[in-house]
Structure 1
Amino acid sequence: MLPVFKLSNGPVPLLAFHGIGQDHRAFEPLAQQLEGRYAVYAFDLFFHGSQPAPVSDDVLTKQRFQEIIQAFLHQYQIDRFAVLGFSMGGRFALAVAEAFPKHTTELILLAPDGITLSPWYRIATNTGLGRQLFRYFLKHMPLFHRFGLFFLALGLINRSVLRFAESTLATPEQRESVYNAWVYFRKLQFNHRKLSEILNNHPVRVRFFAGHFDQVLPVSYIKPLSRRLHAYELIVLKTGHNRLLERVGKIL
C-alpha cells in the first residue's frame, strides 16, 4: 500500500495525489484551508517522498493501482469520498474515479496530466529505444539543455516548459525519480469515451482548475475529456502551473 498521511479532518474524505517531484507535503497548505470540510488523505506516490521503488513489477497497471486503493479504503473504512489530483497526480485521480465511480462524489482535477498525453512523454516511455534515449539525455544534462534550446528556437516548446523541465531535473536524485516515475506510470492511460461514459452515468461532480498562464499543462489539455461530459465545472485562475495548487484551496 502507498504511504498516506491524514492532513485535516472533515466529513468528506478527500484522496489527494501530488505532482512530479512532490510528496504529500505539497497538500499541507491546502489541507489547512479545507479543515472542517474535508479529511485530506495525501499519498506519497512511488519514487516520491517516503515511498521507495516497487519490488515486484516494472510497470504500474490500473488493476494493481485499484487493488492498492481498495486496500486503503478497507483499512480506513471509507465508503464515499472525493478525489483530487494535481499535475501528474491527475492520472491517479482519474484512475480512482474510473475504478470506483459508485463511491466517488467529486473528481477535482488541477492542471491534470493523463487526459492529453504529451508527444514527448510518448517518445520517452512507450518504446524501449525511447526509454534508452530518455535515460541517456538525463545523464547528459548539457546536451539536454542544448536540445531544449534548439526545440525552443523551432517553436516546438516554449520557455516556461523548458524552465519547468530543468527545475524538475536539477539534481541527479530528481532525474532518477522522474525517469523511474514516468516509465513506471506509463500504463495509466485512459480511453476518453469509456471514461466519460462512466462519469456521465454516475453522480460524480467533476471540477477542473487550470492556470491561465500554465504552459506545462494548459487548459486546452482537458478538452478531449471535458467535451464528452454532460456536466462539469471549469475555473481558470490567473496563475501558472506551480502556483495553482495554493490558489485552489481558497475556492474549495
Structure 2
Amino acid sequence: MLPVFKLSDGPVPLLAFHGIGQDHRVFEPLARALEGRYAVYAFDLFFHGAQPVAIPDGVLTKQTYAHFIRAFLHKHQIERFALIGYSMGGRFALATAEAFPEQTDELILLAPDGITVSPWYKLATGSGLGRWLFRYFLKHMPLFHRLGQFLISLRLINRSVLRFAETTLATAEQRELVYNAWIGFRHLRFNLQKLSGLFNQRFMRIRFFAGHFDQVLPVSLLNPLTRRLQSYELTVLKTGHNRLIEKVARLL
C-alpha cells in the first residue's frame, strides 16, 4: 500500500498526486483552501516520502498500479472520487481515471506530465543503451551540465529547463530518486485517442491549470489531449512551473 495522508475533510474524496522530488506535504496549502469541500487524500508516490515504497519488479505496470488504488478505495470505503495531479503526478491521475472511469467524477491536472512525451524521456528510458547513458550522465554531473549548455546553444532546450533539471538533481539522493522514477514509471503511458474516448463517454469534469511562464511543461503540451476532448476547462496562470500548486490553491 502506498503511504497516503488525509489533509482535509469534505464530502468529495480528492486523490492527490505530487511531482517528482516532492511528497504529500506539497498539497497542504491546497487542502487548507479546500477544507469543507474536499477530503484531500495525498499520496507519497513510489520512491518518495519519509518511508519510500519500492516498485515490485522495479517497473510499475498499469495493472499493478490499479491494484494499489483498488486496495486504497476498499480500505477507505470510497466509491466515487475526484483526482488532482501535478507535473509527474499527472501520469498517476490519468492512470487512475483510465482504470476507474466510472468512479471518477472530476479530473484536475496541473501542468501534467504524460500527455506529450518528451523525446529526451524516450531517449533516456526507451532502451537499455538509453538507460545506461542516463545513469552515466547522472553520475557525471559536470558532463551533464556541459551537455545541457550545448543543447541550449542548439536551441534544443530552454535555459530554464536545464536550471530546473540541475535543481532536481542537486544531490546524490535526488539523482537516485529521479533515475528510479523515470525508469520505474516508463510504462505509465497513454493512447490519447482511447483515453479521450473514455473521458468523452463520461460526465467527468476535466480541468487543466498551466503556467504562462512554465518552460518545463508548457501549456502547448496539453494540445494532443485537449483537441480530442469534447469538454474541458483550461486556466493559464501568470506563474512558472514550481509555484503552480500555490497559485491554484489561492484561486480555488
TM-score of the alignment, normalized to the shorter chain, above 0.5: yes
- Residue number in structure 2 paired with 1:149: 149
TM-score where L is the length of structure 2? 0.99
- Residue number in structure 1 paired with 2:210: 210
- Residue number in structure 1 paired with 2:165: 165
- Residue number in structure 2 paired with 1:75: 75
Q: CA deviation at 1:195?
A: 0.2
Where in structure 2 are the equivalents of 1:116-155 lying within 5 Å?
Answer: 116-155=116-155
Q: CA deviation at 1:55?
A: 5.8
Distance 1:127 1:53, change over 3 A: farther
1:51 and 1:90 map into 2 onto residues whose CA distance is 22
Q: CA deviation at 1:52?
A: 2.5
Which amino acid in 1 is paired with 2:93? Answer: A
The answer to whether the aligner puts 1:86 opposite 2:99 as a matched pair is: no
The answer to whether the aligner puts 1:59 opposite 2:56 as a matched pair is: no
What whole-Å deviation, never above 9, does each CA across 1:178-231 have from its counterpart, x for those lacking one?
A: 000000000000000000000000111000000000000000011100000000
Contact preservation (8 Å) 1:86, 1:110 = yes
1:8 and 1:55 map into 2 onto residues whose CA distance is 28
- Residue number in structure 1 paired with 2:189: 189
Where in structure 2 are the equivalents of 1:32-43 lying within 5 Å?
Answer: 32-43=32-43
Q: SS at 2:202's partner residue? A: coil
Q: CA deviation at 1:58?
A: 1.8
What whole-Å deviation, never above 9, does each CA across 1:224-244 have from its counterpart, x for those lacking one?
A: 000000000000000000010
- Residue number in structure 1 paired with 2:6: 6
1:52 and 1:90 map into 2 onto residues whose CA distance is 19
Q: SS at 2:210's partner residue? A: strand
1:128 and 1:40 map into 2 onto residues whose CA distance is 39
- Residue number in structure 1 paired with 2:114: 114
What whole-Å deviation, never above 9, does each CA across 1:96-139 have from its counterpart, x for those lacking one?
A: 11111111010000000000000000000010100000000000
2:159 and 2:58 map into 1 onto residues whose CA distance is 33
**Deviating 4+ runs (over 6 angstroms):** none
* Structure 1 unaligned regions, length at least 5: none
The percent of aligned pairs where both chains have the same amino acid is 73
Q: CA deviation at 1:50?
A: 2.9
Which amino acid in 2 is paired with 1:168? Answer: T
What whole-Å deviation, never above 9, does each CA across 1:1-57 have from its counterpart, x for those lacking one?
A: 100000001111000000000000111111111111110000000111134242631
1:55 and 1:151 map into 2 onto residues whose CA distance is 33
Q: SS at 2:133's partner residue? A: helix
- Residue number in structure 2 paired with 1:249: 249
2:231 and 2:191 map into 1 onto residues whose CA distance is 18
2:68 and 2:57 map into 1 onto residues whose CA distance is 14
Q: CA deviation at 1:251?
A: 2.5
- Residue number in structure 1 paired with 2:226: 226
Which amino acid in 2 is paired with 1:208? Answer: F
2:19 and 2:154 map into 1 onto residues whose CA distance is 28
Q: SS at 2:58's partner residue? A: coil
Aligned residue-pair number: 252
2:249 and 2:58 map into 1 onto residues whose CA distance is 35
Which amino acid in 2 is paired with 1:133? Answer: L
* Structure 2 unaligned regions, length at least 5: none
Which amino acid in 2 is paired with 1:75? Answer: K
Contact preservation (8 Å) 1:207, 1:233 = yes
Contact preservation (8 Å) 2:2, 2:53 = no
Distance 1:148 1:180, change over 3 A: same
1:192 and 1:56 map into 2 onto residues whose CA distance is 27
